[in-house]
C-alpha cells in the first residue's frame, strides 16, 4: 500500500517555501513519489472526469480493528496533478468514511493556497477529485462493507465499476462521471457584476431586463477580455506556421478544445470539432453521416418540438436518400408521449435526432429512455444540446450520446463558434462535409487524402479568437458549477411560472417546471405576440416573440406565434416580478 506523506508535513513545507513557483516544484516532487497503476486499471470505469488531465481512482475498503477504513490508489498523466493527488490521499487514506466526510478539505486547500494559485481548469479538476472521494466515503458509510462492494451506480451515470481489488479488499463503487463536488450556491449578485451589459441602460433611462438567454446569452467580462486579448496580443492563423508567435494560437486552441472535451465528458480531444454553431454541427452530421449511411426505407426519428436546425437538414437528407422521417408525438402538456414510442421506433430506425431541451416549451425529454429504445434497434443518438448544455450537466460517454451539438453564444461565450462532439469511430467513418485548407493531408490532381481528426471536419480557417474564448466561457460556467446553476434556475423558474400564471387571460405553453428548463413561453387572449413583446420593451423587458424557428410545433399548437421569456444565471426574482408587472401593463395598454 502506498505510504502517503502526512498532511502536516505538506503544509509545513508549503509555508516554508512561501513562493508559488517553489511550491509547484514541491508538488511535482510529491507526484514523482506516486506509484503508477497497472495499464489494465487505467480504464474508463476508473476515470475521474472534470479534470484537466486524465485521472484514475481505485478505491478499496478494509476492515481494521472493527472499523471500515478507505484506501485509494490513484494516478494521473501529469506530475503536478499527481502532487495534488498526494495532498488528497494524505487527507483520506486509512481513515473511516465518517472521518473523511468530516474533513475540512477546503480549509486545507486555503492553507496551501491552492484555490488562489491554481488556474480555473486545474482547480475544477481538484474539486472533481474531491467530489469522487466524498462520493466513495458516502457509499462506504451508508452501505456497509458488503453493500459498498456490490452497489452499482445509476445506468445513466456510469457503467459498473470493474477495477481490480487490492489485497483482497472489497472494491468500492465508482460514482457517476459527471457527478460534481459539493458546490456553493449560485451568488446571483456576484454573477451579475461579471456582465458589463447589465450596467447599461436604455435611451429611456430604464435598466435592461434581459429575458432572451435562450436566443443568445450575454457575455461575462472574462470572455470579452479573452477574445480581445487574442486580437491584441497573439493573433495569427492557426495550424499554419511554425513561428513561435503563431504557435501560441495553435496551442491556445488545443487548450480550449481540451477544456470542452472535459466539460462534456468526451473520451478524446479529437472528438471535439469546432463549427460555427449548433446549426452547422447538425448539418455536418446530417450530410456527412446521413448521405453516406442512410438508404431508402431507413428511418430518422425526431420529435414534434424540434428546432428547424434539427429538422430541415434531415428533411433534405431524407429526400436525397429515400429515408423516412418519424416523429415522437407530444402530450397535451408538451411532454414526449413515450407510450407511443414503440409506434415510431422500429428495426429500420437508423438515427434519432432529439433536442435535450425544447427552445419553446422548455421540455426536457427523458433521453435515457429514448436512448435505450433506439440503441436496442442499433440506431445512433444525436442530441441537440443548444438549450441544455448551458443549464444542465452533460456527459456524452455516460449518457450514451453518439453526437452532441451546441453553440458557444448560448453558453455565455462568443458568437460564431460552436461544437460538434462525435464518437471517434463514427467521425472516422464519415466523409468530410466541407473541403479545403486545413482538412487535407495530401492533395493530388484527381483525389485528396484527408487530415486526421479533428482537422478532417475543420475546413478553412476556424473562428480562432472565438474558439479560444469559448474555452474561457467553459471555465466560467464550470467554476460556477452546472449543478448550482441548474438548482438556481429551477428555483427561479418555479417562482416566475407561478407569478406569470396569475396574469388574467394568459396561457403558459408546455409542462410544469419539474419537467422543463428555465423557459416560459405563453400566449395572451386578445393580444398578438408582437404587440406583447413591443409593449414589454417599453418597460425595458427583452423577450422573444414569433415562432422561434419551430413552425411545425406552432402549427400543432394552433397558434401563429408565442412570446418567450427565458432565464439565465444573471436573472433574479425581481426580473420575474418586473415581467409580471409588464404583462399587466400590456393588458392595460391593449384594454384587455
| CATH (domain of 356) | 3.40.640.10
Distance, in Å, from the CA atom of 353 to the CA atom of 545, rounded to the nearest integer, reads: 26
Q: Are residues 11 and 142 in the same domain?
A: yes
Q: Which residue has the cell 396561457?
A: 507
Q: Is residue 21 part of a domain?
A: yes
Q: Is the dihedral of CA 478, 484, 490, 495 positive or negative?
A: negative
Residue 159 and residue 194 in one domain:
no
Region label for 232, one of left (φ > 0), alpha (ψ between -120 and 50) or beta (otherwise): alpha
Instruction: Check whether residue 94 and residue 194 sit in a common domain.
Output: no
In a domain, 138, yes or no: yes
Given this model, what pLDDT does residue 183 score?
A: 58
Q: Is residue 43 located within the same domain as residue 154?
A: yes
The answer to whether residues 74 and 137 belong to one domain is: yes
Residue 542 lies in a domain: yes
What pLDDT is attached to residue 316?
98
**Whole-number pLDDT of residue 182:** 45
64 and 208 assigned to the same domain? no
Active-site amino acid positions: 549
Backbone torsions φ then ψ of 70, nearest 5 degrees: -100, 135
Place of cell 483482497: 168
With a cut of 50, list the residues of the chain below it in pLDDT. Answer: 1, 145-182
Cell triple for 478 = 464550470
Write down the pLDDT at residue 1.
Answer: 47
Phi, psi dihedral angles at 255 (to 5 degrees): -60, -45
| Shared domain check, 160 and 29 | yes
Distance CA 9, CA 33 (A): 15
Pick from 352, 373, 407: which residue ends a domain? 407
Most distant CA atoms of the chain, gap in Å: 79
Same domain assignment for residues 298 and 383? yes
- Whether 30 maps to a domain, the answer reads yes
Answer whether residue 39 is part of any domain: yes
Its pTM stands at 0.71
287 and 382 housed in the same domain: yes
Name the CA radius of gyration of the chain, rounded: 26
Task: Please give the distance of CA 282 from its chain centroid, rounded to a whole number.
Answer: 17
Q: Is there a single domain that holds both residue 154 and residue 208?
A: no
CB 227 within 8 A of CB 469: yes
Q: In what order do the strands lie in the sheet with 562-566?
A: 506-509, 519-524, 562-566, 544-546
CB burial of residue 72 (10 Å; 0-12, 13-18, 19+): buried
What pLDDT, on the 0 to 100 scale, is given for residue 338?
92
Contact yes or no for 429/291 (Cβ under 8 A):
no
**What is the rounded distance in angstroms from the CA atom of residue 178 to the CA atom of residue 132?**
10
Domain count, the chain: 3
Residue 44 is predicted with a pLDDT of 82
- Do residue 26 and residue 112 come from a single domain? yes
Would strands 272-275 and 349-355 be described as parallel, antiparallel, or unpaired? Answer: unpaired
What CATH number is associated with residue 89?
A: 3.90.1010.10
What is the per-residue pLDDT for 155?
Answer: 32
Which structural domain range is residue 397 located in? 278-407
Task: Kindly report the number of other CB atoms within 10 A of residue 358's CB atom.
Answer: 33
Amino acid at each position: 500500500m502506498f505510504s502517503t506523506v502526512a498532511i502536516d508535513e505538506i503544509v509545513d513545507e508549503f509555508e516554508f517555501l512561501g513562493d508559488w513557483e517553489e511550491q509547484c516544484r514541491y508538488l511535482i516532487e510529491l507526484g514523482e513519489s506516486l506509484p503508477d497503476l497497472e495499464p489494465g486499471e487505467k480504464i474508463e470505469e476508473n476515470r475521474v472526469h472534470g479534470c484537466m488531465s486524465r485521472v484514475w481512482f481505485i478505491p478499496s475498503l478494509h476492515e481494521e480493528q472493527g472499523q471500515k477504513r478507505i484506501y485509494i490508489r490513484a494516478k494521473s498523466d501529469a506530475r503536478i496533478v499527481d502532487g495534488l493527488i498526494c495532498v488528497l490521499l494524505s487527507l483520506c487514506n486509512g481513515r473511516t468514511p465518517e472521518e473523511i466526510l468530516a474533513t475540512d478539505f477546503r480549509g486545507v486547500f486555503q492553507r496551501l493556497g491552492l484555490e488562489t494559485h491554481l488556474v480555473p481548469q486545474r482547480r475544477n479538476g481538484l474539486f472533481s477529485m474531491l467530489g469522487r472521494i466524498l462520493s466513495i466515503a458516502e457509499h462506504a458509510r451508508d452501505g456497509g462493507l458488503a453493500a459498498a462492494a456490490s452497489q452499482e451506480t445509476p445506468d445513466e451515470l456510469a457503467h459498473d465499476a470493474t477495477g481490480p481489488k487490492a489485497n483482497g479488499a472489497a472494491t468500492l463503487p465508482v460514482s457517476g462521471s459527471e457527478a460534481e463536488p459539493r458546490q456553493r450556491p449560485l451568488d446571483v449578485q456576484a454573477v451579475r457584476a461579471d456582465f458589463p451589459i447589465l450596467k447599461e441602460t436604455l435611451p429611456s433611462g430604464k435598466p435592461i431586463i434581459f429575458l432572451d438567454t435562450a436566443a443568445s446569452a450575454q457575455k461575462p467580462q472574462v470572455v470579452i477580455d479573452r477574445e480581445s486579448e487574442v486580437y491584441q496580443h497573439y493573433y495569427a492563423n492557426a495550424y499554419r506556421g511554425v513561428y513561435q508567435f503563431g504557435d501560441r494560437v495553435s496551442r491556445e486552441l488545443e487548450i480550449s478544445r481540451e477544456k470542452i472535451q472535459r466539460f462534456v465528458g468526451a473520451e478524446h480531444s479529437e472528438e471535439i470539432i469546432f463549427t460555427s454553431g449548433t446549426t452547422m454541427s447538425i448539418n455536418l452530421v446530417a450530410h456527412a453521416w446521413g448521405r453516406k449511411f442512410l438508404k431508402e426505407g431507413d428511418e430518422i426519428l425526431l420529435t414534434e418540438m424540434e428546432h428547424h436546425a434539427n429538422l430541415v437538414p434531415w428533411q433534405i437528407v431524407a429526400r436525397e436518400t429515400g429515408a423516412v422521417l418519424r416523429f415522437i408525438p407530444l402530450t397535451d402538456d408538451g411532454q414526449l408521449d413515450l407510450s407511443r414510442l414503440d409506434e415510431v421506433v422500429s428495426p429500420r430506425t437508423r438515427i434519432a435526432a432529439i433536442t435535450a431541451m425544447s427552445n419553446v416549451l422548455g421540455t426536457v425529454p427523458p433521453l435515457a429512455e429514448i436512448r435505450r429504445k433506439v440503441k436496442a434497434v442499433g440506431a445512433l443518438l444525436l442530441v441537440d444540446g443548444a438549450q441544455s448544455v448551458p443549464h444542465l450537466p452533460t456527459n456524452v460517454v455516460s449518457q450514451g450520446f453518439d453526437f452532441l451539438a451546441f453553440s458557444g453564444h448560448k453558453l455565455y461565450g462568443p458568437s460564431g463558434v460552436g461544437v460538434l462532439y462525435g464518437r471517434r469511430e463514427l467521425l472516422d467513418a464519415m466523409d468530410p462535409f466541407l473541403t479545403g485548407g486545413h482538412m487535407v493531408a495530401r492533395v493530388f490532381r484527381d483525389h485528396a487524402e484527408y487530415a486526421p481528426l479533428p482537422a478532417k471536419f475543420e475546413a478553412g480557417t476556424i473562428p480562432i479568437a472565438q474558439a479560444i474564448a469559448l474555452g474561457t466561457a467553459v471555465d466560467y460556467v464550470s467554476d460556477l458549477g452546472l449543478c448550482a446553476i441548474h438548482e438556481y434556475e429551477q428555483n427561479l423558474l418555479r417562482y416566475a411560472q407561478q407569478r406569470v400564471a396569475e396574469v388574467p387571460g394568459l396561457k403558459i405553453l408546455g409542462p410544469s417546471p419539474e419537467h422543463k428548463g428555465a423557459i416560459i413561453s405563453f400566449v395572451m387572449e386578445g393580444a398578438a405576440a408582437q404587440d406583447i413583446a413591443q409593449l414589454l420593451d417599453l418597460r425595458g423587458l427583452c423577450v422573444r416573440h414569433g415562432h422561434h424557428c419551430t413552425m411545425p410545433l406552432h402549427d400543432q399548437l394552433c397558434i401563429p406565434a408565442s412570446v418567450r421569456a427565458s432565464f439565465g444565471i444573471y436573472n433574479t426574482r425581481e426580473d420575474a416580478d418586473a415581467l409580471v408587472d409588464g404583462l399587466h401593463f400590456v393588458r392595460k395598454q391593449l384594454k384587455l
